[in-house]
Structure 1
Amino acid sequence: MATIKDVAREAGVSVATVSRVINQSPKASQASIASVKSAMHKLGYRPNAAARALVNQSSNTIGVLVNDVSDPFFGVMVKAVDGIAHKNGKHILICNGYHNAKEERQSIELLINNRCDALVIHSKALADEELIEYANEVPSMVLINRRIEQIANRCISLNNYKGAYLATEHLIRQGHTKIAYISSNHLIEDADQRLLGYRDALKNNGIYLPETYIEYGSPYGEGGEQAMTNLLVKSLDITAVVGYNDFMAAGAIAVLDENGIRSPEQVSVIGFDDVLIARYIHPRLTTIRYPIQMMAERATQLALALARHEQVIEEDLIYSPTLVQRNSVRPIQV
């Protein structure tokens, strides 16, 4: 593999001159630029990105941490970040954290060591204190779907409690009182907040159900299937189900169908997130819209502004979910 010394020898210039050409220094003459680029092309030399970042104090990359990029929810998030990055002449470097503290820590360290200009971080496993330390080390780091009061001006989050409350209240307004809840078994604040929203919506409307109306599963279609199966074997009187997310809701609908229970005629189902699947399953899924694209774009814009040391306007960075009505919820027939 060719080195910078090989390029200098081939071009007949000093190593310092090659370095100036690589880093686009205005001190490099046109003749030097031409000869160095010709030598680089002939030798197949590629400048070391890390070395260039050290000189330029910029790698032209934005580091992104997600739970799992194969999840369509995070696919939308990554695409939104990439869209803003592209408009600003930058690329993205993506890491998966899998809601695991060790994986998230290693990923953030990797992004920092690669001298990313800015970081958009979706972290659920790391403690507030550790994320605050990273935020102090990297002034252009922004958290998404997480709110830490000490760095609230760099946190883009959603009111998950309100979303689950809206979902449950919508069912109540359709006359439902026997409402089950399928929750994620992941130990993250989103799950806690959504479960609390469900419980408070019932309580505030004078509805009291035993804990048997709540089941847990992995936040995917299979988890929704298992949770719905567990609810059915209890022989509970259920007329509606709130799903932690759209995938769990879709899994629940599949199990209802397998057991000859029509949705929404016999059991209404509502999801959360409004990912693509919600529009195409049958029945089309009534859900709570999570504006992840808008939030990811805002997070990226904020991270880049911080990287440029711009004055950032203080504003509320907590987004509100909204109800999307489709075909999976039906009023109780009196």
Structure 2
Amino acid sequence: MATIKDVAKEAGVSVATASRVINKAPHTSQTAITAVNAAMEKLGYRPNANARALVSKTTNTIGVLVNDVSAPFFGAMVKAIDGVANENGKQLLIGNGYHDADKERKAIELLINSRCESLVIHSKGLSNEELVNFAKEVPGLVVMNRIIPEIAERCIALDNHRGSYMATENLIRHGHKHIGYICSSHDIEDADARRAGYLQALEDNGLTASANYIEYGEPVEEGGEYAMTNMLAKNLPITAIAAYNDYMAAGCLSVLHENNIKTPEQISVIGFDDGQIARYVHPKLTTVRYPIHLMAEQAAKLALQLAAKEPVEPHTRIYVPTLVRRMSVQNCPAN
């Protein structure tokens, strides 16, 4: 593998001159630039990114931490951030945290050690204190889908409680009084807030909230199937289901179909997120839109602004969910 010394020798210049050309330093002659570039091409030389970062004080990268990049929700988040990165001549470095504190910590440390000046962090495993400490170390760090009071102006989140309240109230307005809830089994704020929104909507509308009407599973299709199977086994007089997300709702729909229970004629179902799957299940899923693309773009832009020490508005950015009406909810059959 060619070194910078090989390039300098081939170009007939000093190592210092070759270094200035590679790092695009000012006050370098066009003759030297032409000679060094030709030598690099001939020898197949690739500049060392870490060495260049030491000179330029940046790697032109945005670091991103997600739960699992293979999940469609986080894929959409990364795609939106990548769009902002491309517009600003940046590349992405991505770490998976899997909602595990140790994995999240190691991923963030790797991103920092890779000299990422801008970080967009989706962390559910680390404590507020640890994230605040990371934020002190990296001025361009922004937290997604979480509010931390000490760094609230660097947080971007959705009002999960309001979204779940909205979903449950939509079912109530269609005359449903016996509404089950399929909840994520993950011990994270999102699950707590969405379950609380469901319970609050029942209470505000004079309906009894019972733990017997709540089932838990992994926040994927299989988790929805598992939770809905357990719900049916209880033989409750349920006429509607609110689900933690669209994937659990899809699993719920599958179990209802397998048991010859028609949706929405017998049981209405509402999801959360408005992911792609919501438009392709049958019936098309009524759901609550999580504007992840818009939020991720805002997070990336904010991270770049903070890293560049540009002025930003000092307030928490909380997005409001909206209802998306499709075909999986209708009036309660008893009405």
The TM-score with structure 1 as length reference comes to 0.98
Q: How does 1:120-199 map to 2 (within 5 A)?
A: 120-199=120-199
Shift of the alpha carbon at 1:314? 2.6
SS across alignment from 1:73: helix
What corresponds to 2:320 in structure 1? 320
What corresponds to 2:241 in structure 1? 241
Q: Name the CA distance, whole Å, in 1 between partners of 2:53 and 2:134.
A: 20
The one-character-per-residue Cα deviations of 1:271-297 (angstroms, maximum 9, x if unpaired) are 000000101110000000000001000
Q: Name the CA distance, whole Å, in 1 between partners of 2:268 and 2:99.
A: 31
What corresponds to 1:64 in structure 2? 64
Q: Name the CA distance, whole Å, in 2 between partners of 1:44 and 1:85.
A: 27
What corresponds to 1:3 in structure 2? 3
What corresponds to 1:297 in structure 2? 297
What corresponds to 2:55 in structure 1? 55
Shift of the alpha carbon at 1:316? 4.2
SS across alignment from 1:120: strand
The letter of the residue matching 2:201 is: A
The letter of the residue matching 1:86 is: N
What corresponds to 1:111 in structure 2? 111
Shift of the alpha carbon at 1:176? 0.4
Shift of the alpha carbon at 1:40? 1.1
What corresponds to 1:12 in structure 2? 12
SS across alignment from 2:151: helix
Structural RMSD (CA)? 0.9
The letter of the residue matching 1:210 is: S
What corresponds to 1:268 in structure 2? 268
What corresponds to 1:41 in structure 2? 41
The letter of the residue matching 1:192 is: D
The one-character-per-residue Cα deviations of 1:33-60 (angstroms, maximum 9, x if unpaired) are 1111111111111100011111111211
SS across alignment from 1:196: helix
Shift of the alpha carbon at 1:262? 0.4
SS across alignment from 2:33: helix
Shift of the alpha carbon at 1:256? 0.4
The one-character-per-residue Cα deviations of 1:152-198 (angstroms, maximum 9, x if unpaired) are 00000010000100000110111101000000001100000000000
Q: Are 2:81 and 1:85 aligned?
A: no
Q: Name the CA distance, whole Å, in 2 between partners of 1:210 and 1:129.
A: 35
| Residue ranges of structure 2 left out of the alignment (5+ in a row) | none
Identity over aligned residues, as a percent?
63
Q: Name the CA distance, whole Å, in 2 between partners of 1:312 and 1:211.
A: 44
* Contact 2:117 2:138 (8 Å CA) reproduced: no
Q: Which moved more, 1:154-163 or 1:112-121?
A: 112-121
Q: Name the CA distance, whole Å, in 1 between partners of 2:157 and 2:332.
A: 34
Q: Name the CA distance, whole Å, in 1 between partners of 2:192 and 2:210.
A: 18
SS across alignment from 1:182: strand
Q: Name the CA distance, whole Å, in 2 between partners of 1:127 and 1:58.
A: 28
What corresponds to 2:256 in structure 1? 256
| Residue ranges of structure 1 left out of the alignment (5+ in a row) | none
What corresponds to 1:221 in structure 2? 221
The TM-score with structure 2 as length reference comes to 0.98
The one-character-per-residue Cα deviations of 1:124-177 (angstroms, maximum 9, x if unpaired) are 100000000000000000011011010000000010000100000110111101
SS across alignment from 1:94: strand
Q: Name the CA distance, whole Å, in 1 between partners of 2:254 and 2:188.
A: 26
The letter of the residue matching 2:200 is: D
